Structure 1
Amino acid sequence: MKKNTVRFAPWVGSKYAEGFCGLRILLVCESHYGDKKHERPTATPEIVKALALGERHPRATGKLRRHPHFTKIMSAVKNVRESFSRAQKKEFWHSVAYYNFLQEFIRDTRVLPPKDAWERGDSAFAEVLDVLAPDLIVCLSARNGRRIRSLANGVPVAVVNHPSSRFAYSKVNPVIAKHMVIALERKAQAPAFTSSDSFERWCEATASALPTPGSLLSESDKIAILLERRASMAALDDSVLA
């Protein structure tokens, strides 16, 4: 049995296998930010549900604000600038996969990731590619573009700036659109997508994850959720080391 190397399960939309515009698209950003005590296997689906889709954790005292990071990505991939309805957002995000390359939380956006964190992300990314078999990778990180291309095994890679760093639709959209055409041409020769146990597990993790509540919790709920996160992360890390 192949060892699992992915600590943070990717977001895998319920219609990912069908794809967006006929393509299985894997969106790759860099990292999660925050205290390491908040690491948990479902961090990515939790964040997409809260910040991209505007969903509320059942124990939270309110909803988190939707983040422009996700709106920019959606606008760039769809190659349009408009106000998206809730239904449009749901349709888009459930048609793609989203993954953060680094397999550890970085303390702050102003802190550079450790050099060895990039190397540790290689094997996890290889596993993600094997399981998700994307037709197109959109790498939303100029500094990580070379590494992603070297690991892509021939899958077209559109490398653009991160949404928080010199991100301009006039530069980003044409790059993604060009690579979508390349990916569609390549897909005509590619084998059909095959599901796997890991794929089903990540789909289930995406479906069942609750939106991250942020700090909008009572003190008792903050303690309870922190303990839940520690337990789930410890169980996953134990299985990786086994």
Structure 2
Amino acid sequence: MKNVFFKPWIGKDYENGGIFGKKVLVLGEAHLCGGCEDCGKVENAEECADFTSSNCIELLLNGHTDNWTPTFRKFERSLAGHETTLDESRKIWNSVAFYNYIQRSMDSSRKSPEWVDFRNSKEAFFEVIENLRPDLIIVWGVTRMWSNMPSDGWTEGEKMTIDSYDVKNGWYTLQDGHRIHAIWVYHPSSGYSWNWWNNVIKEVL
């Protein structure tokens, strides 16, 4: 994947669908770290290529807690439909792939990606989904991530209404015709009711 700076986490059971019985790609927006001048430049990616795995998911699976871990815990509960144990957490994240769309880190929690960041991350995104060939993408964020993701191969889905809420969804079609359903959920960092979103997610899992 020549355009990918932050390689995706791929759970050991992802290929066979794990506990979900289908290949699920969880798509975040961006990493947060101190940043550097070379962040996002693929030719300098070696040091940070495994950041998603080693600095996020592997820490999570080892029971690490930090100010970012509640985001992942809330999301995994919306997959399971109940509060999760560490053992359940490991089964969940080993059943999915996780990837942040933006291929450079944000250096502040209050800093948002710009449209150019989405544009510059487009080729990497398509390399990832061509390589992983998910059946379902669950996207974190219903504003920027809905408005700025690429339209290539995209078809908006039929109306999907849960408890009077219209869930943003659609399909990406790869070059060989493989179709990937995608849904957009609130970003689980705040204002995320995991038990309500479970009602949405269980409709597509």
The bucket for the TM-score relative to the shorter chain is: 0.7 to 0.9
Corresponding residue of 1:13: 11
Question: Aligned partner of 1:156: which letter?
Answer: H
Corresponding residue of 2:25: 26
1:98-157 CA distances to partner (integer Å, 9 max, x unpaired)? 000000011111012122001011111101100000000000111212444735224111
Alignment of 1:135-150 (within 5 A): 135-143=135-143, 144-148=145-149, 150=151
Question: Aligned partner of 2:181: which letter?
Answer: P
Where is the helix percentage greater, Structure 1 or Structure 2? 1
Question: Aligned partner of 2:28: which letter?
Answer: C
1:176-206 CA distances to partner (integer Å, 9 max, x unpaired)? 12222xxxxxxxxxxxxxxxxxxxxxxxxxx
Structure 1 runs (4+) deviating above 3 angstroms are: 63-66, 146-151
How far the C-alpha of 1:88 sits from its partner, in A, is: 1.5
List runs of 5+ in structure 2 lacking aligned partners: 40-47, 153-171, 174-178
CA distance 1:111–1:120, shift in 2 (3 Å):
same
Question: Aligned partner of 1:48: which letter?
Answer: I
Between structure 1 and structure 2, the one with the greater Rg is 1
Aligned counterparts of 1:75 and 1:176: Cα–Cα separation in 2: 11
Question: Aligned partner of 1:163: which letter?
Answer: P
Q: Does 1:168 align with 2:170?
A: no
Corresponding residue of 1:81: 82
Q: Does 1:45 align with 2:37?
A: no
TM-score, normalised with respect to structure 1:
0.64
How far the C-alpha of 1:9 sits from its partner, in A, is: 0.5
Does the CA contact (< 8 Å) of 2:9 and 2:98 recur in 1?
yes
Does the CA contact (< 8 Å) of 1:139 and 1:148 recur in 2?
no
Does the CA contact (< 8 Å) of 2:70 and 2:189 recur in 1?
no
Alignment of 1:123-138 (within 5 A): 123-138=123-138
Corresponding residue of 1:36: 35
Higher RCO, 1 vs 2 (CA within 8 Å, ≥6 residues apart): 1
Among 65, 68, 86, the residue aligned to 2:70: 68
List runs of 5+ in structure 1 lacking aligned partners: 56-62, 181-242
Residue 121 of structure 2 aligns to a residue whose secondary structure is: helix
Q: CA RMSD in A?
A: 2.1
Residue 156 of structure 1 aligns to a residue whose secondary structure is: strand
Aligned counterparts of 1:22 and 1:64: Cα–Cα separation in 2: 29
For this pair of structures, how many residues does the alignment match?
Answer: 168
CA distance 1:148–1:109, shift in 2 (3 Å):
same
Residue 14 of structure 2 aligns to a residue whose secondary structure is: coil
Aligned counterparts of 2:33 and 2:140: Cα–Cα separation in 1: 20
Residue 5 of structure 1 aligns to a residue whose secondary structure is: coil
Does the CA contact (< 8 Å) of 1:29 and 1:101 recur in 2?
yes
Aligned counterparts of 1:97 and 1:85: Cα–Cα separation in 2: 20
Question: Aligned partner of 1:101: which letter?
Answer: Y
CA distance 1:122–1:43, shift in 2 (3 Å):
same
